[in-house]
Structure 1
Amino acid sequence: MKKLIVTLSLLSGFVAFAQGNQKTDSVKVQKIEEVVMTKKVFKKESDRFVYDVAASPVAKGNTAFGLLKETPLVSSTDDKTLKIAGKSNAVIYINGRVTQMDADGLEQFLKNMPAENIQKIEVITMPGSEFKVESTDGIINIILKRKTTDGLNGNLRLSNEQYYYNATAAGVSLNYRKDKLGISGNVNTSENIERKEYVVNNGNQKGSTRSEGPINDPNKNLGGYLNVDYQLNDNSSLALTYNSRANRSYDSTIDFFNTTIDLVKDETKYSLTKSSENARSYNNSINLNYELKTDSLGSKLNLNAAALLYRRFQSSTNSTFASDINRNQMSQTLGIMQNQPQIINNFSATADYIKKFKNDLKISVGGNFNKTKTDNDTKYDAFDFRTDTSVQMPNHFLYDENIYGAYVTLEKSLSPKFSGKIGARYELTQSEGNSDNAQDERLRSIKRNYNEILPYLSLNYAINENNNISYAFSSRMKRPSFWELNPVKTLLTDVNYTQNNPFVKASSVYKQELTYMYKNSYFLILNHALVKDNITEVPLQGVIDGVNQVRYIRTNFGTNQEFGAMLGMQKSFFKGYLSSNFNVGIQHNRNNGSLNQDPLTGDLFPLYENRRNSTSFTIQTSNNLQLDKKKTWFLGVNYFYIDKQTIELGELGKLMSLDFTVKKLWNNWTFSVDLDDFLNTQLISITDNQENGNFNNITQNRFTRGVKLTMVYNFGNQKVKKVRDIDSADKEIKNRTR
């Protein structure tokens, strides 16, 4: 049911346009003179944007997640995931090293990290060849403050949210340093019920089906991390990171009322769909890091070895009952029981060496290896009470994947104003998927063996102290998530469901970006992206075995192009009393895809096409107003607007949200009140009308309007030096467990 909620919400992939669209990457850093904006600085370095928040009141009592939402080019439309300028996923780094957590764990990690510990935030919109990120991924690098004294400090956070249901969260973080040894840890817990209400309406000239009702998804989370960092000598260090996350989601429910109209027979039938699901998941990972400095110029060797163990156990029942127009439940007509466990084991290793020369030349070389095995032993039992017949369709899907990668990059400052970077990455993927009890011979063994050379180029020219221009080109691959490959259904109703697809192949992404920066306060970004074999979800609709069905199929769906332009500003006014971040952008999408066959069953449907173009407009702004001279009261006002746009499933209606925050600082305490989606305008509407007469419309209410109360207490020696955070060898694998 979680996958269904994620799939139908469409927010991760589509609503993120509130952030624009881009990516760049590393080159010889050539700093431009900073424009001080009352303890807040925003500037463009050769391969990244830098947001300096060292002593900003915005950071006081805030979390890393909250601070990132106010960072230029970064935003969140669902308060769960972060996006960078467009449809880019954000990979989080700490002090230049990636965090090693799954999506849920990362969300809780950022919402429990005190923002006071952050020195600056770097946004890398187009990562270079040395970064092991996929397709449209960008990087957010959080630089922590470096303090000198030993001791212990900590942070206690409590919050309560009231949306449709009440939600609570609590966390404690501790940080200890003594001489060469550093230890940091965090434990956090949360409990909430996520509610969504849907109206799904589809059909054609012969009839239609309308399903409407709520989905309730309760969640209890417990997680944390432990970092241990030891300085072996002046040139080498060893670090160990352990992350753990447990989630329990029992009694998730779907309660839909269905109306089926047959215009040929001139009859209308009613039914009820009631589903219940119990799920629990466990994510544990460990990473060992060794770093060796090889000379006084900054050359170094970095080695990582990591292990990831992911377990998810899910069982569900889906029952259909006859009904009348008043929704009175009558006899049961169909019952479906499913068990969908997922087990992922991964071992990863990376090696990176950076060699610096006195003539401002830097050469980076490295490689990585990932071995992943997944085990999905799915059970499917259906009983038709109308015919007194049963159907069993077990599916034991095993997937084995090996990825080998190597890269080389060269960086050079050709003059005090001009620098460049060129690189290439080679990736070889070998995989095999097996269904040992599949009815379809094609599913018995699916082997893939493919490789790609992925070039990268970045150029930066500092025209003068007020003007800077840069260009970057990047090529990437996008591999499907592991859950997308497991050939199972997730039911909305018995004839309306999502279908995963083991035949999905990696897509190729080519991006380029031109950036102009003026006085470190104003910027213009022009970008273009081309996606081949785009991985998405396609709605196939038609009459199969005498019944109108809708199947949302995960598949490769043609090509997609995006053209974007964004004009932005990060500046303070009125002697620093007002700090404002403002972006306005326009994006043009070109889609070209078609599908008429279910790749698993072979069933033929009327052709589904998306060859449409659309142009969309967006505004995003975050503002922080100091209300008193003592800097203890603050008001935050955030707003975004997304114009309607064409996506793979049709036309997504316009969205907007207005949020307020009132914050009070008192000694070591911070109290805040957040009013989210004040106007209740984050209502999703998708409409699709095909030339063949098929239509498929979806509306969704996520109940995003609500209030959140937060209390934070900082204790201990606040001058403690932060533990050295370490890279993880398995971070791109974790991204694919989402």
Structure 2
Amino acid sequence: MKTPILIAALFFSGLTFAQQNKPDSIKTPNNEGVQHIEGVTLTKQVFKKQSDRFVYDVASSPVTKGNTTFDLLKQTPLLSTTDDKTLKIAGKNNALIYINGRKTNMDAESLVQFLKNTPAENIQKIEVITVPGSEYQVESSDGIINIVLKKKMSDGTSGNMRMSNSQNKYNSSSASFSLNYRKDKLGINANLNGAENIQPQTYILRNGTDKVKNESTGDIDDPNKNIGGYINVDYQLTDKSNLALSWNSWANRSYNSTINLLNKITQYDNNGHLISTDYTRTKNKENARNYNNSVNLNYELKLDSLGSKLNVNAAYLNYKRFQYSDNNTMLPGAMNDFSLTGKKIIQDIPQIINNFSGTVDYVQKFKNDFTFSAGGNFNKTKTDNDTKNYTYQFVDQDGNPIPNVQPKLDFNHFIYDESIYGLYVTFEKKFSDKFSGKVGTRYEITNSLGTADNPQNPVEAQRHQRIDRDYKNLLPYLSFNYAINDKNNISYSFSSRMRRPSFWELNPVKNYITEDNYTQNNPFVKASSTYNQELTYMYKNSYFLILNHSLFKDVITQVPLQRKYMENGIEKVQLAYIRTNFGTKQEMSAMVGMQKTFFKQYLTTNFNIGVQHNINDGTLNTDPTTGQVFDMYTNNTKSTSLVIQTNNTIRLDKKKTWFLGVNYFFVDKQQIELGLLKNLMSLDLSLKKNWNDWTFAVNVNDVFRTNMVEIEDYQSSGNYNYIRNDQYRRNMTVSITYNFGNQKVKKVRDIESASDDIKNRTR
């Protein structure tokens, strides 16, 4: 049940972040990674600032032994997770994962499994790029996490197996198997993983006016069975050239997802006296399945010994989602047992996406510490959404049964074609040992056409039949880094970006939660613009201060719109979450932090504390897809929030086999597009034992069950909206990991897919 309100994905605004798959390569001098630091001991510079990125030298850190890559990322300064699934960069909405300078060619769920089953001992360093340069096709305020693996030269086979079991409201289990093989010029890297779980949620939804109040309370349970994996084959054609083929696949089946909500409508007179209370029950069932397959062919040619190279990618992506839902409004009946069906809405919502894409990247390095980069990308995408709604009304306006009920059919075959052309150029220069700078720009052209065959009625035919969108964007970038002395470093970055709507956001379909509560997507959504500035100061490679300002124009979000109407003599209030562009938003933040080890490396800690100031400015009263008028919704509120995060690893014995983890985060209340988000916090504990090639771990997340979402909004018109969403984040996970084979196997090149940005927009 992925669609209701989409609260979890929206609530954290600028303070929490979603893992997403988006493309690009890392082509700056720093990305040669290991060769710049081989043979150098950096125990006094575990964490440092370099040019446009923060570098965490985990090979010199005591937290590496026995950890998975995901565990290690959680210990990296500026990174955190609130759900043990997604990684976040402080002050950034999205964290994109790269490995050895290459975008990982996996969808989000497969990527998490990969990170949780990759030994941290293989990692040399982790780079955190808070403001990416022009060579990256990132959107909005995305940041990048680049994992640099150690170079290992011996041939052989290695791998690992992992099993885990988790318990929150329900029990869930997962397993994975990874294998690495290298022989001479051939390398093969493969993974297979699967999981079975039920994702539970409990909702309290309240909205209305001083005279009419709606309340819906109950549960959403979403069973999931997943299986996925990837295989990467890399072959060294010559000493200077490589050819690689990657295939990723992921399948999800979510059958018998249910919504069960009790709805109460209360009416009052002008004096505040109770007039009536009416009850209904919402019982919805959904079956959904989706498939994501992608293949990528990569060719890389090394041009000289300095690191100059040519990189070419061609990719194909096929995504399919089939969703069938049965939404029922149940009436009390003679025995008040909600056995009578008042209204039924059956929805058939398929979506098919096909994408062809290609990228070309050229990097030329010179002996005078000057680097020139240029490249381009092309994406051709077609989405096919053939939506059908069947509405059955079993009771008339007077509450009497309707004989021989015939369904009302609404259908919309929405086809969306999109072509994206991009060019970029960057110049990077190290002027001295103290000062370096980088400047670049990206020029993007987006041509799109949305057409609606068989629109629902003649009025909508005029509105939906043809939707043209053409964007031409020049996106400049600038950064510099100045090392004042051995202890002090200062840097500044500016970047402009755009954020295109996801394909599901453009599909003009309603997803019903209750009869009077639904979400509405919007084919008229246009791309939004983002302008980011960041000033960073670092002291002794352990303490840092980050000042950030982001301006968002034409923000893409959900807006809660309300309207009153009469049915069966009862005044009701309808609440629609409309996907649209909604004004402007500013985020300003200041964060101080540190990364240190104490007591002869028995304690490793990173700690961040900061404030964020949000300014929202938007108004809306009309559904752009239908023209239906609602009460005016206004959000021009400011808020200032406190953010605290600390991750700590305590070594419990001299042999470095027992470890205790203590992590905590706190996010103060803040104003977002849907209203005032109340504070969030979580305490997570872990205990780990390393025994030869085995690792045993127990993790308890959200110990005090404080990580729940609450949003409250009051309008000057008297309308209000309240949401409480409990996703049962308190859970215990027991895991066992076994590493086998020759651990000195050289890793296969990880190749970014030309279609990674498109793949992200399918979710």
The reply to whether TM is greater than 0.5 is yes
Tell me how far apart the structure 2 counterparts of residues 195 and 210 of structure 1 sit (CA, whole Å).
20
Counterpart in 2 of 1:228?
A: 233
Superposed CA deviations along residues 417-459 of structure 1, whole A, max 9, x for unmatched, are 1111110000000000111011312111101111010000010
Q: Shift in Å at residue 655 of structure 1?
A: 0.7
Moved more, 141-150 or 690-699: 141-150
Distance in 2 separating the partners of 1:261 and 1:412:
67
User: 1:86 pairs with 87, 91, 96, which one?
Assistant: 91
Q: Check whether the contact 1:270–1:325 (CA below 8 A) recurs between aligned residues.
A: no
Residue from 557, 565, 571 that aligns with 2:582: 557
- 2:720 corresponds to which residue? 695
Structure 1 residue aligned with 2:313: 304
1:569-648 superposed matches below 5 A: 569-648=594-673
- Rounded to whole Å, the distance in 2 between the matches of 1:33 and 1:354 is 23
Return closer, same or farther for 1:103/1:28 CA change in 2, 3 Å cut-off: closer
Q: CA deviation at 1:713?
A: 0.6
SS of structure 1 residue aligned to 2:6: helix
Shift of 1:297: 2.0
Alignment match, 1:22:
none
- Aligned position for 1:375: 384
Name the counterpart of 1:154.
Answer: 159
From 145, 170, 176, the equivalent of 1:165 is 170
Residue 421 (structure 2) aligns with: 404
- Residue 509 of structure 1 deviates from its aligned partner by 0.2
- What's the CA shift for 1:319? 0.6
Alignment partner, residue 472 of structure 1: 493
Q: Residue in 1 aligned with 2:49?
A: 44
Task: Assess if the C-alpha contact under 8 Å between 2:59 and 2:124 holds in 1.
Answer: yes
User: What amino acid maps onto 1:481 in structure 2?
Assistant: S
How far apart, in 2, do the equivalents of 1:223 and 1:63 lie? 20
1:74-111: CA deviation from partner (whole Å, max 9, x where unpaired): 11222222221124201111110101222233233323
2-structure distance, mates of 1:404, 1:484: 21
CA displacement at 1:60 relative to structure 2: 3.7
1:553 and 1:287 map into 2 onto residues whose CA distance is: 36
CA separation in 2, counterparts of 1:343 and 1:314? 12
- The alpha-carbon deviation at position 645 of structure 1 amounts to 0.6
1:192 aligns with 2:197: yes
Cα distance between partner residues in 2 of 1:11 and 1:142 = 28
Whether the 8 Å contact between 1:26 and 1:48 is mirrored in structure 2 is no
Between the aligned partners of 2:38 and 2:230, the Cα distance in structure 1 is 38
Partner of 2:687: 662
Matching residue's letter, 1:593? G
d(CA) in 2 for partners of 1:467 and 1:431? 48
Are the counterparts in 2 of residues 156 and 712 from structure 1 also a CA contact under 8 Å? yes
Partners of 1:40 and 1:494 in 2: CA distance = 59
Structure 1 residue 148 displacement after superposition = 1.2
Query: Which residue is equivalent to 1:678?
Result: 703
Structure 1 residues 71, 170: closer, same or farther in 2, change over 3 A?
same
**Match for 1:360 among 366, 369, 381?**
369
Whether the aligned pair in 1 keeps the contact of 2:18 and 2:95 (CA below 8 Å) is no
Equivalent pair of 2:17/2:86 in contact (CA under 8 Å): no
Q: State the Cα distance separating 1:39 from its structure 2 match.
A: 9.4
> Do the aligned partners of 2:124 and 2:148 also contact (CA within 8 Å) in 1?
yes
Cα-to-partner distance string for 1:28-48 (whole Å, 9 max, x where unaligned): 659999998869811111110
CA distance in 2, matches of 1:338, 1:353: 48
Distance in 2 between the 1:531 and 1:35 partners?
A: 43
8 Å contact 1:664–1:672 — kept in the other structure? yes
Structure 1 equivalent of residue 761 of structure 2: 736
Conserved in 1, the CA contact under 8 Å of 2:14 and 2:587? no
In percent, how many aligned pairs have the same letter? 62
What amino acid is aligned across from residue 227 of structure 1 in structure 2?
N
- 1:145-188, Cα deviation, whole Å (9 max, x unpaired): 21111100110101010111011010011101111111110101
- Are residues 1:4 and 2:9 paired? no
Conserved in 2, the CA contact under 8 Å of 1:51 and 1:122? Answer: yes
Change (3 A) 1:29 1:461: farther
Q: For 2:189 and 2:12, how far apart are their aligned partners in 1? A: 31
**For residues 14 and 265 of structure 2, what CA distance do their matches in structure 1 show?**
29
**Structure 1 Cα separation of the partners of residues 323 and 15 of structure 2:** 28
| Shift, 1:642, TM fit | 0.6
8 Å contact 1:592–1:612 — kept in the other structure?
yes
Is 1:140 aligned to 2:142, yes or no?
no
User: SS at the partner of 2:757?
Assistant: helix
**Aligned mates of 2:649, 2:713 — CA distance in 1:** 40
SS of residue paired to 2:387: strand
> Contact conserved, 1:9 with 1:700, CA < 8 A, in 2?
no
Instruction: Describe the shift of the 1:111–1:339 C-alpha distance in structure 2 as closer, same or farther (beyond 3 A).
Output: farther
Structure 1 residue aligned with 2:121: 116
Inter-partner Cα distance in structure 2 for 1:432 and 1:35 = 55
Specify whether residues 33 and 86 from structure 1 end up closer, same or farther in structure 2 by C-alpha distance, changes over 3 A only: farther
Using the TM superposition, give the Cα deviation of residue 65 of structure 1 relative to its aligned residue in structure 2, in angstroms: 2.2
Residues 599-647 of structure 1 show CA distances to partners (whole Å, capped at 9, x for unaligned) of 1121111110000000000100000001011111110000000111111
Moved >6 Å (runs of 4+): 30-40, 324-327
1:316 is the counterpart of 2:325:
yes
Moved more, 688-697 or 415-424: 415-424
Could you list the runs of 5+ residues in structure 1 that have no partner in the other structure? 20-24
Task: Write out per-residue CA displacement over residues 452-511 of structure 1, whole angstroms, 9 at most, x where no aligned residue.
Answer: 100000101011111110000000000001000000011110110010000000000000
Distance 1:81 1:567 in 2: 23
Distance 1:266 1:714, change over 3 A: same
Distance in structure 2 (CA, Å) of the matches to 1:87 and 1:509: 12
For the 8 Å contact 2:333–2:340, the answer to whether it is kept is no
Take 2:346 and 2:305, find their aligned partners in 1: how far apart are those partners? 64
Q: In 2, distance between residues paired with 1:157 and 1:228?
A: 23
Match of 2:734 in 1: 709
The 3-state SS of whatever aligns with 2:4 is helix
Q: CA separation in 2, counterparts of 1:2 and 1:463?
A: 50
Matched, 1:433 2:422: no
AA aligned opposite 2:454: N
Q: Distance in 2 between the 1:241 and 1:606 partners?
A: 51
How do residues 147-546 of structure 1 correspond to structure 2 at under 5 angstroms? 147-264=152-269, 266-323=275-332, 328-387=337-396, 388=402, 390-438=407-455, 439=457, 440=460, 441-544=462-565
Quote the Cα distance in structure 2 between the aligned partners of 1:430 and 1:578.
Answer: 54
Deviates more, 1:392-401 or 1:57-66: 57-66
Superposed CA offset, 1:37-72 (max 9, x none):
869811111110111222655334433222222211
Contact 1:40–1:56 (8 Å) recurs in 2: no
* Unpaired segments ≥5 residues, structure 2: 20-25, 397-401
Could you tell me whether the CA contact under 8 Å between 2:279 and 2:331 is conserved in 1? yes
Per the alignment, in what secondary structure is the counterpart of residue 602 of structure 1?
coil
**Distance in 1 separating the partners of 2:602 and 2:254:** 44
The C-alpha deviation readout for 1:214-242, integer Å capped at 9, x for no partner, is 00001111011101111111111111111
Q: Distance in 1 between matches of 2:438 and 2:142?
A: 19
SS of residue paired to 1:688: strand
| CA separation of 1:415 and 1:57: change in aligned 2, threshold 3 A | closer
Q: For residues 686 and 326 of structure 1, do their structure 2 counterparts lie closer, same or farther at Cα, with a shift above 3 Å needed?
A: farther
SS of corresponding position for 2:656: coil
Kindly report the root-mean-square deviation, in angstroms, between the aligned alpha carbons of the 2 structures.
Answer: 2.2
Q: Secondary structure at the match of 1:552?
A: strand
The question of whether the paired residues in 1 share the 8 Å contact of 2:493 and 2:534 is answered with yes
